[in-house]
Amino acid sequence: MTLRNLRVLLALPLLTAGASEPGASASDWTARPHGPTYATAPAMHDTVERRLMPQMEALLTQLLRDKRNMRLGGVEVFKSGDKFLPGKIAAAMSYRVLDLPKGDPRLPQRLKDFATIADLTVGDPNDTWGIYYYVSALHRLKQAGLLEEAVSPATLALLKARLDWHRFVRPDLSLIDLPNNYYGVAFSIARLRFLMGWEDEKGSDRLLERTLDHYRRYSGEYGFADETEGKGRFDRYSVLLIGEIAQRLVETGMAPTPEVRGWLRRSVDLMLPRFNMRGEGWEYGRSIGTYGETAFLEVLTAAARLKVLTPTEERMAYAFSSRIAARYMDFWVDPATGSVDLWDQGRRTDAYRGKHRIFGENLSLARQYIYTDAIWSDLGYRGRAPDAGYERWLKTLPKSTTTWFARGEHDRAVVTIRDGSTVIGLPIINGAEGQHMHNPYFPVPFSPGMLQGSADADYPLLLPRITLTDGSVLMPLAWFKDVRVTTRGPVTDVTWRQDALDRMGGEDATKDPRATIVTKYRLAHGSISRTDFLTVKGTAKIARIDMAFASFSSVPVARSEGAVTFGTGEVKRLQTKGYGKCTAKDVASQPYRSTTGAFRSLVECGVAMAVPSASAELNWRLSYNY
């Protein structure tokens, strides 16, 4: 398939899916950060088989042709430092083999192709997730009776030695400089090695228990995994991880326990109020964007397979999954390059998923869509049109939902608001080491395509950044207590206090008890407001307070010292009090970019205290088209 033909194939379905939203070409989404709305969506299998598989085939054909000289998006893929790449390639090449029916005349050549690439990459760095992807691919080939034809004996011997979880887990089962979700990766590798006949069951049994023990210790009664050792980072992975564990248990022939099923149901309950017509996914934290969407796929398919959904929820989960798949090909894959795009057209992702990983990101994302589509097909949805009542069903979802992650010394939660077609999440968590200062983890409202943060960026998005007279910089980011949520009709009030603020400058959140704050949010129809009562103690005094707001709305006009209106876009007005003068300007540069596109305007507010103060009352109110 030529690139020109692939471009046509990738672009054509958009003409139907996005016909109600004209104004941008298929390769330019800067004016449409939401992407297309799907009043109807194609069957998930149709998207995967007719669009995603040809896209992946084109990339693998390029790999087979160019081998170590392959370039994609300006990146020399084998010099990029992607330490998962060999495993991702093996996974994609295995699907390329197994997608063919038995007896297909193309099969012998595809088996040779797998062997060629296995020989090419066997000595390359391949860590953690890459090890899992590779051994999983080999296991699938073994199950199909094709392993010996796909990998030479010498290469298989090398792979057996190198595809080992001990490379990132110490003898005492502690992880080597990795977050706790990697216990699930280690378990999956160990279990697959057992199924391959490469080791006994002891390692996988111990790792599974360690994984579940972490869940018990740091999720308590609420059933969501803290990514840290109890510091309170509850993000996309806290919700996704149990879906991955459930999937790996089923993949390796183990039955999930009632405890695992219960945790999985908690994740479903958090996801359901986030369903929408566009296939938009997780709204805050790191590694979101298209991965925030595949998180829904993995959890929902695991829940469907394990029958923890009601019949209606199952149909709606499939309808949402079909939209997520269509969105991937319409919104995230660029027809001009044939590649997923997380980095250009004004988009920004975290350093972990930098553009140096472009080839691997294409392959790992394709894998998620392929295997989840296979699950839906096994459940009887292959080629089935999504339920026509999906949009009506969305209107039955609760308008306000509070999901608790932890309560006690510090409270952690997320409040979800449905205001018409707008879905808003207010996370109350601690980003902790490496993330506490980055605004995708701030306790502010997020809404895909309307209110977003900028990956790895630390400008003070909708929060006060307080500079004391001694130069210390504090922000209210991490130490939430006495969180209370009350809902009356269309109005939800959220309050909490912090008896210490987070002192900026360190890798981890650091308590500074010289300042305290009491916060109140009000989320109502078409508006969000935040009020803070800030107090400093002892000899400390406030020298300056700053706040910023980066928006997809444009044509900003400062109407008064603390008010800005926008001529176009969903957000119409930002009114502030206590932040001093606000300036507004068009912006199109780093770091003011989101996962889905560039922000178009920037509001910056700041006040220097003529006389250093011991207290301040701060307020902002944001109005939007619901």
Beginning with the edge strand found earlier in the chain, give each strand of the sheet holding 554-560 in spatial order.
481-488, 491-498, 515-524, 527-536, 615-624, 571-577, 563-568, 554-560
Which tops the pLDDT comparison, 589 or 545?
545
267-290 pLDDT tens trace: 999 999 999 999 999 999 998 999
> Do the Cβ atoms of 34 and 331 come closer than 8 Å?
no
What is residue 30's predicted lDDT score, i.e. its pLDDT?
Answer: 65
Parallel/antiparallel/unpaired status of strands 581-586 and 601-613: antiparallel
Token representation of residue 157: 């011997």
Span 99-103, mean pLDDT?
90
Q: Global pTM?
A: 0.94
> Do the Cβ atoms of 387 and 311 come closer than 8 Å?
no
What is residue 231's predicted lDDT score, i.e. its pLDDT?
Answer: 94
What is residue 213's predicted lDDT score, i.e. its pLDDT?
Answer: 86
450-480 pLDDT tens trace: 999 999 999 999 999 999 999 999 999 999 9
Question: What are the φ and ψ backbone dihedral angles of 578, each rounded to 5 degrees?
Answer: 95, -10
What is residue 8's predicted lDDT score, i.e. its pLDDT?
Answer: 47
567 by Cβ neighbours in 10 Å (0-12 / 13-18 / 19+) ranks as exposed
How sure is the predictor about 20, in pLDDT bands with cuts at 50, 70 and 90?
very low
**H helices of 452-602, where?**
none
Distances (CA, A) of 219 to 169, 359, 508: 22, 35, 21
Question: What are the φ and ψ backbone dihedral angles of 293, each rounded to 5 degrees?
Answer: -90, -45
pLDDT at 5 over 80: no
What is the per-residue DSSP string for 530-554?
EEEEEEE-TT--EEEEEEEEEES-E
Tell me the C-alpha distance between 260 and 527, whole Å: 38
Tell me the C-alpha distance between 361 and 370, whole Å: 14
pLDDT at 13 over 80: no
Comparing CA positions, the residue from 286, 282, 284 lying closest to residue 299 is: 282
Token representation of residue 388: 């026509």
237 by Cβ neighbours in 10 Å (0-12 / 13-18 / 19+) ranks as buried
452 by Cβ neighbours in 10 Å (0-12 / 13-18 / 19+) ranks as buried
Token representation of residue 533: 């009562």
Comparing CA positions, the residue from 179, 108, 81, 167 lying closest to residue 132 is: 167
How sure is the predictor about 11, in pLDDT bands with cuts at 50, 70 and 90?
low
Q: Which helix H or strand E contains 141, and what residues bound it?
A: helix 129-143
Q: Which helix H or strand E contains 96, and what residues bound it?
A: helix 85-98
Which tops the pLDDT comparison, 613 or 502?
502
580-604 pLDDT tens trace: 999 999 998 899 999 999 999 999 9
Comparing CA positions, the residue from 477, 82, 399, 448 lying closest to residue 277 is: 448
What is residue 573's predicted lDDT score, i.e. its pLDDT?
Answer: 97
Question: What type of residue sits at position 202?
Answer: K
591 preceded by a cis bond (ω within 30 of 0): yes
Tell me the C-alpha distance between 358 and 342, whole Å: 8
> Do the Cβ atoms of 534 and 512 come closer than 8 Å?
no
The helix/strand/coil state of 67 is helix
Note the residue count of the chain: 626
Which tops the pLDDT comparison, 16 or 272?
272
Mean pLDDT, the chain, rounded, equals 93
Q: Crossing angle of helices 182-195/202-219, nearest 10°? A: 160
Comparing CA positions, the residue from 489, 554, 550 lying closest to residue 523 is: 489
240 by Cβ neighbours in 10 Å (0-12 / 13-18 / 19+) ranks as buried
